[in-house]
């Protein structure tokens, strides 16, 4: 008999208990833990609430608990960190109920319970009050998502599907990623109308055909090249995909009378110091330039934890291989947000938009990369610089020590929205008056493959 302690005596904890009782597969819940003192010693479906989180060590020892399940979807990362620390100290296994999907659907499931990840330790609470408004926002709407197999695109796909729109069309040229996403979404949402397209956003005819079939009301444009050093070395591909891919999608959106077009942007677009950031700022400008009956808006945020090729999976591999963990600079900081929170706020910002805006997500406090490395080493049960060495490799081309979410002028125009985690401003730093003309010149240079002139026109003509 596997003995379980559930942390969280709310709706998610009750869902987990009920599913365990239904399954009858050699698992027994011996108690709940909840920080609300009024709940202590009360019963939920015959199972007692034994105390608060500080009681976990003695209850685990007394009841000979095999595993702790953390079922508090609305908790922030600090609380999860404390519970993990307690469990690690007493060497008891622990797992967590993922946060966003369960809140959207109002149901926690045993099948989705997983190991605690670094994202859980740094994440902020999910805002439950957004759910009903977004259900209404997506009701009877058809949605198209580009870059759907990527980190942000796939999470947007999961969350949008959970709101049960009329249908969802998913576009990406990454075949393996799309196969995995297709398998997952068809299992999670068997009754939802889903279409999966292997396609390149720069292919005008292919995308035009997809628009005719999908007939989208909303577009979430997450397809982009994002790796700074790679794009510095391959500027023509950054321009082709990020700028001309966006332009192609935007023109088709207007032609097909799409209601809303949401450009997923990045903090690298604020005072860009690299080609990738410059191309993303120009895509924000494209939305601003074409805004009209189709409402274009951009959502800008910093790094997301665990995205493909980002620092978290790199550190994980390095730790698994016994180190060393490589950090570029001791002073290097980055804003971090969990993928589910970023996706949730993108959806909320899009529902608030009236057209032409730049939404900037509140990323919280910047995190020192060295602190993140140390936290991940400890999450693996090891000690930094004792079991796993940390070495410093130096800043790479195009990188900044600290990122900013907006430039000086954007900050001056910053205003609050109804959601305290979302700010609104206008994209600045792009020469909007001559943007159309300079995009044409850029297209001609792209055909010739003239990298030097491409860089020159971006930095000298397109950005202010």
306-364 per-position pLDDT tens digit = 666 678 888 889 999 998 999 988 888 887 777 888 888 899 989 999 999 999 888 77
Residue 431 maps to a domain? no
Secondary structure of the chain in HEC code, one letter for each residue: CEEEEEECCCHHHHHHHHHHHHHCCCEEEEEEECCCHHHCCCEECCEEECCCHHHHHHHHHHHCCCEEEECCCCCCHHHHHHHHHHHHHCCCEEEECCCHHHHHHCCCCHHHCEECCHHHHHCCCCCCCHHHHHHHHHCCCEEEEECCCCHHHHHHHHHHHHCCCCEEEEEECCHHHHHHHHHHHHHHCCCCCEEEEECCCCCHHHHHHHHHHHCCCEEEECCCCCCHHHHHHCHHHHHHHHHHHHHHHHHHHHHCCCCEEEEECCHHHCCCCCHHHHHHHHHHHHHHHHCCCCEEEEEECCEEECCCCCHHHHHHHHHHCCCCEEECCCCCEECEEEHHHHHHHHHHHHHHCCCCCEEEECCCCCEEHHHHHHHHHHHCCCCECCCECEEECCCCCCCCCCCCCCCHHHHHCCEECCCCCEEEECCCCECCCCHHHHHHHHHHHHHHCCHHHHHHHHHHHHEC
pLDDT of residue 167: 97
Specify whether 156 is located in the same domain as 278.
yes
pLDDT of residue 104: 55
Residue-wise pLDDT for 125-160, tens only, equals 555 546 888 999 999 999 999 999 998 999 999 999
- For residue 368, is pLDDT > 90? no
Specify whether 59 is located in the same domain as 159.
no
Specify whether 108 is located in the same domain as 204.
no
pLDDT of residue 401: 83
Residue 456 maps to a domain? no
Q: Who wins on pLDDT, 338 or 61?
A: 61
- For residue 236, is pLDDT > 80? yes
Specify whether 66 is located in the same domain as 12.
yes
Residue 70 maps to a domain? yes
Residues above pLDDT 70, as percent of the chain: 94
pLDDT of residue 161: 95
Specify whether 108 is located in the same domain as 138.
no
Annotated catalytic residue 48: no
The domain boundary, picked from 86, 116, 146, lies at 116
Specify whether 84 is located in the same domain as 139.
no
Specify whether 103 is located in the same domain as 203.
no
Whole-number average pLDDT of the chain:
89
167-181, 191-205, 386-400: least confidently modelled range:
386-400
Specify whether 23 is located in the same domain as 140.
no
pLDDT of residue 264: 96
pLDDT of residue 414: 84
Residue 448 maps to a domain? no
Residue-wise pLDDT for 273-288, tens only, equals 899 999 999 999 999 9
Residue-wise pLDDT for 394-447, tens only, equals 887 777 788 777 777 777 888 888 888 889 998 888 999 999 999 999 999 999
Residue 140 maps to a domain? yes
The CATH number of the domain holding residue 36 is 3.40.50.720
pLDDT of residue 20: 87
Other beta carbons less than 10 A from residue 234's beta carbon: 17
| Residues of the domain holding 274 | 130-425
Q: Which of 39, 268, 295, 348 is catalytic?
A: 268
State the Cα–Cα distance between residues 34 and 52, nearest whole angstrom. 5
Residue 435 maps to a domain? no
State the Cα–Cα distance between residues 53 and 32, nearest whole angstrom. 10
Count: domains in the chain: 2
Cα distances (Å, whole numbers) of residue 291 to 124, 220, 258, 262, 357: 33, 15, 11, 11, 9
Residue 439 maps to a domain? no
**23-34 average pLDDT score:** 89
pLDDT of residue 309: 61
Specify whether 91 is located in the same domain as 137.
no
The domain boundary, picked from 81, 116, 151, lies at 116
Residue-wise pLDDT for 68-113, tens only, equals 999 987 787 788 888 988 888 888 989 888 765 555 555 556 666 7
pLDDT of residue 155: 92
Question: What band does 5 get if pLDDT is binned at 50, 70 and 90?
Answer: very high
- For residue 240, is pLDDT > 70? yes
Specify whether 221 is located in the same domain as 364.
yes
Residue 394 maps to a domain? yes
Specify whether 80 is located in the same domain as 142.
no
Specify whether 19 is located in the same domain as 150.
no
pLDDT of residue 129: 47
Cis bond before residue 324 (omega within 30° of 0): yes
């Amino acid at each position: 008999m596997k003995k379980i302690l559930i942390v969280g005596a709310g709706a998610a904890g009750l869902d987990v208990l009920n599913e365990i009782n239904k399954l009858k597969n050699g698992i027994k819940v011996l108690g709940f833990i909840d920080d609300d003192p009024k709940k202590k010693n009360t019963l939920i479906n015959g199972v007692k609430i034994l105390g608060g989180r500080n009681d976990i060590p003695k209850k685990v020892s007394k009841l000979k608990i095999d595993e702790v399940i953390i079922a508090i979807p609305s908790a922030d990362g600090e609380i999860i960190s404390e519970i993990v620390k307690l469990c690690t100290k007493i060497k008891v296994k622990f797992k967590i109920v993922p946060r966003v999907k369960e809140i959207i659907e109002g149901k926690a499931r045993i099948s989705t319970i997983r190991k605690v990840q670094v994202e859980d330790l740094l994440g902020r609470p999910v805002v439950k009050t957004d759910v009903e408004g977004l259900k209404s926002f997506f009701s009877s709407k058809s949605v198209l998502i580009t870059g759907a197999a990527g980190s942000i695109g796939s999470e947007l796909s999961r969350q949008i599907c959970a709101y049960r729109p009329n249908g969802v069309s998913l576009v990406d040229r990454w075949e393996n990623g799309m196969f995995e996403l297709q398998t997952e979404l068809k299992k999670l949402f068997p009754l939802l109308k889903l279409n999966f397209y292997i396609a390149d956003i720069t292919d005008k005819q292919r995308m035009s055909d997809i628009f005719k079939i999908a007939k989208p009301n909303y577009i979430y444009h997450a397809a982009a090249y994002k790796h700074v050093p790679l794009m510095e070395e391959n500027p023509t591909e950054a321009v082709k995909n990020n700028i001309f891919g966006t332009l192609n999608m935007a023109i088709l959106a207007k032609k097909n009378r799409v209601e809303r077009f949401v450009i997923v942007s990045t903090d690298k677009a604020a005072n860009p110091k690299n080609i990738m950031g410059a191309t993303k700022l120009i895509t924000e400008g494209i939305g601003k330039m074409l805004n009209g009956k189709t409402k274009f808006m951009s959502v800008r945020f910093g790094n997301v934890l665990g995205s493909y090729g980002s620092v978290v999976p790199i550190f994980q591999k390095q730790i698994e291989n016994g180190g060393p963990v490589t950090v570029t600079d001791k002073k290097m900081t980055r804003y971090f947000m969990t993928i589910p929170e970023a996706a949730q706020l993108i959806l909320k910002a899009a529902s608030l938009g009236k057209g032409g805006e730049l939404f900037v997500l509140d990323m919280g406090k910047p995190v020192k990369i060295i602190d993140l490395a140390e936290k991940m080493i400890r999450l693996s049960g090891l000690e930094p610089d004792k079991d796993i060495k940390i070495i410093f490799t130096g800043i790479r081309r195009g990188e900044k020590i600290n990122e900013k979410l907006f430039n000086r002028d954007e900050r001056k125009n910053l205003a609050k929205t109804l959601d305290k985690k979302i700010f609104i401003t206008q994209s600045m730093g792009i020469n909007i008056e001559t943007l159309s003309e300079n995009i044409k010149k850029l297209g001609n240079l792209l055909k010739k493959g003239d990298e030097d002139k491409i860089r020159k026109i971006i930095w000298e003509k397109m950005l202010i």
